[in-house]
Amino acid sequence: MTFVATLPQSAEELVESFGPLNMVVEVAIFAALFYVALRFLWATRGSTLLKGLGVLLGCSVVGVTVLIKVFQLDRVAWLVDQLAPSFFVGLIVVFHPEIRRAIVQLGDVRIFRTFFRREVKIVPRLLRALSRLSKERIGALIAIEREASLSELIENGITIDAELNSYLIESIFYPKSALHDGGVVVRDDRIVAASCLFPLSQDPDLDKRFGTRHRAALGLAENTDALVLVVSEETGKISTASGGKLDFDLTLEQLEERLHEALGIEKQPA
């Protein structure tokens, strides 16, 4: 018995021969695109305007498509086909500042920065700075960026972009410094910006003894996954805020544990 292998005679036949595989590939591509879009919006803390616009457009497209298919609205379908390209071009023109900002923030997403990540030594430097600030009762507010980008806060602050060291942190928060108001944003091993305005928590159950710094730390922790460090100007006590929770009056040992846990850095044995 002779077996003869038959090959598709055209590109169309070749595509048809992989019908089920094509479906799997298409579903995988759409799933990947959907995941990337969601990941992008979370990691960039995407503009509320863009999020709202995306939801509105998505619902509108689905609604119009269903109406056209159900009621066979051929004229409406023709009109949509004619206007859709111009409509989307107009959206790009009108919202180009927000789109540009989102694309810039995409470059700051940690998943891309990990390819170029350097060894970070911020834990001992932060501990040294916070220890001295605490002893001198100098207020401080420091946000350490994790997965969610803090680029929106950075844009509203004063750009520093310097290697993190304890002396620079102390200089920034020195009471007579021009940058001591507001918070500092730390990314990897660099101080990215200072004098940044953090969102204030509106939690009505927050202890009244906490001032603006603690409310700002908790407010940022409620909206992002950042680890926020606070030194009280009145008491010199050190607090941290993360995951919408404020931990007050930590020792340096407890603070060191929080930093290692939040940054995913293994503690070196003594």
C-alpha pair distances (Å), 8 with each of 2, 5, 11, 21, 25: 19, 10, 8, 16, 20
Closest CA to 145 of 158, 164, 130, 127: 164
Rounded distance between C-alpha atoms, residue 90 and residue 25, angstroms:
32
Structure tokens at 111: 């998943």
- Please give, one letter per residue, the 3-state secondary structure of 9-75: CCHHHHHHHCHHHHHHHHHHHHHHHHHHHHHHHHHCCCCHHHHHHHHHHHHHHHHHHHHHHHHCCHH
Entry pTM = 0.61
Q: Going from the N-terminus, what domains does the chain have, and what CATH number goes with each?
A: 18-106 (no CATH), 117-263 (3.40.1700.10)
pLDDT for the residue 219:
93
pLDDT for the residue 20:
66
What does the pLDDT profile of the chain (270 residues) look like in tens digits?
Answer: 444 445 445 555 555 555 567 777 777 887 887 776 666 555 544 455 566 667 777 788 888 888 888 888 888 888 888 888 888 787 777 766 666 666 655 555 555 555 444 445 889 999 999 999 999 999 999 999 988 888 889 988 999 989 999 999 999 999 988 888 899 999 988 999 999 999 999 888 888 778 899 999 999 999 899 999 999 999 999 999 998 899 999 999 999 999 988 887 766 554
pLDDT for the residue 63:
85
pLDDT for the residue 266:
63
pLDDT for the residue 267:
63
pLDDT for the residue 110:
52
- CB-based burial of residue 187 (10 Å sphere; 0-12 exposed, 13-18 middle, 19+ buried)? buried
pLDDT for the residue 99:
67
pLDDT for the residue 135:
95
